[in-house]
Structure 1
Amino acid sequence: MKRGADVGRLRRVIAQNVRRLRKAQGFSQEGFADACGLHRTYIGAIERAERNVSVDNIERMADALGLEGWELLRSSAT
């Protein structure tokens, strides 16, 4: 496993994608959390890259955004 700067890189990619895509679709954090069936503070922690997100929750967020889960993992998700 790599250490240093690469640790958490994918977590940061997910955080950036979730925030950008949520805002682009006009969701508040609370509205997005409701659409995902998750708690607002959990969504905030994901967007700050503080939480290690499970595959199940990636799928829930992607569904709410109308995406496939893998799209949240791409460095340039649209």
Structure 2
Amino acid sequence: MTDLVLKLGERLRYIRKEQNLSQEQLGELAGLHTNYIGQVERGEKNVTIESLEKIAAGLNVSMEQLFRYIDPMEREDELSQINELLATRSMQDKAMVLKMIKDVFDWEASKYK
């Protein structure tokens, strides 16, 4: 399969696990067979838009959220690199990084007062 299909499968697995759902539970919520969910997550199936919409509904996320951080084009800007690093991190890690960034900006601003 293509790199995009593999990245999408990884993204789906990440969101599912972040929500503490098993493949069976997601299959039930999405109205799809558990085996199909596994095949999509492993990048073995080229998922249809209709099935992707069902999976998004089962995960209670938008289609945009499913594709967030999946970009087949290589980008080298710093923001893209930060997004890539944070894409698979927990919400706690993301909150910690945000706090660190704010602290650095606050510290920098205080230097010039």
Whole-angstrom CA distance in 2 between matches of 1:72 and 1:52:
15
Structure 1 counterpart of 2:94: none
Q: Residue type of the partner of 1:57?
A: S
Quick one: which of 22, 26, 37 aligns to 1:32?
Answer: 26
Structure 2 counterpart of 1:60: 54
How many pairs does the alignment contain? 72
Is there any run of 5+ residues in structure 1 with no aligned partner, and where? 1-6
TM-score of the two chains, using structure 2 as the length reference: 0.58
Structure 1 residue 63: Cα displacement: 1.1
Does 2:69 match 1:69? Answer: no
Does 2:9 match 1:10? Answer: no
Q: Which has the higher contact order (CA 8 A, sep 6+)?
A: 1
Whole-angstrom CA distance in 2 between matches of 1:60 and 1:47:
14
Is there any run of 5+ residues in structure 2 with no aligned partner, and where? 71-83, 89-113
Find the structure with the greater CA-based Rg.
2
Q: Residue type of the partner of 1:51?
A: K
RMSD between superposed Cα atoms in Å: 1.8
Query: Alpha-carbon deviations, 1:37-56, whole Å to 9, x = none?
Result: 00000001011100000001
Q: Residue type of the partner of 1:35?
A: L
Structure 1 residue 65: Cα displacement: 1.3
Structure 1 residue 70: Cα displacement: 2.9
Whole-angstrom CA distance in 1 between matches of 2:5 and 2:11:
10
* Structure 1 runs, 4 residues or longer, greater than 3 Å off: none
Whole-angstrom CA distance in 1 between matches of 2:22 and 2:8:
17
Structure 1 residue 73: Cα displacement: 2.2
